[in-house]
Amino acid sequence: MIVPVLMVTAVSGIVSLSGTGLSASGWAVGITCGGVTSLGLARARSHFGVDRLTPADRVTLARATLATAVAALVADSFVHPVPVRTLVSLAAAALVLDAIDGWVARRTAIGSLGARFDAEVDAFLILVLSVYVARSIGAWVLLIGVARYAFLAVGWLLPWMREPLPPRYWRKVVAATQGIVLTVVAANVLPSAVNRAGLVGALILLAESFGRDVWWLRLRRRTMPGEAAVDRSRRS
């Protein structure tokens, strides 16, 4: 049930809020992102053995729907101008709900699914906003959007990078900062120099956060059987 509900809600919300209608690419991106998000959530529920979503998960699902709407508008912006006020409003609403789902989670139940779902929605919204902002500021802004996905990609090559990380509130603060800065820059209400300075600062914070996680994982690296054998052979 989640898959069709999320897709229809996201696309119909975009159309009603934008007032301009979507191009074919906007529709395609909106439906695809909504479907992938819903299917991924369904698979995660099966993996974690979760029968139903918690109240916090439902708020996160609403954020995912808003992020999907933003993605469709960003895709549409490559075809024709889109209402910036609508795009920024959707992104801002998603950021507000980010604070709300944390408040709800602290007062109800939250499990491994909720934490992972929340992180993925954060990363997706940041990626979409970075694509939009990069068109006016520069391609380097995409570093903010792809950071988490690059971290996950490296984990496929280095097993020790896939070890679970301990909860860290600062990680959440940094993610929220990226979203806020990108949304403000997308609104284009500040001077260009201020926007660039804010983005540089956000990127530095992001590098520090991921760097700390990589350092923590490196220090606690578990020696693989093959590596242990190599080490023994070198010592002999």
Q: State pLDDT tens for residues 79-106.
A: 888 889 989 999 999 999 988 887 787 7
Instruction: Tally Cβ neighbours within 10 Å of residue 39.
Output: 13
Residue 74 pLDDT exceeds 90: yes
Percentage with pLDDT > 70 across the chain: 83
Q: Say what the pLDDT of residue 10 is.
A: 58
DSSP 149-217: HHHHHHHHH-GGGGSPPPP-HHHHHHHHHHHHHHHHHHHT-S-HHHHHHHHHHHHHHHHHHHHHHHHHH
pLDDT tens for each residue of 190-232? 999 999 999 999 999 999 999 999 999 988 885 545 444 444 4
In the chain, domain spans: 2-223
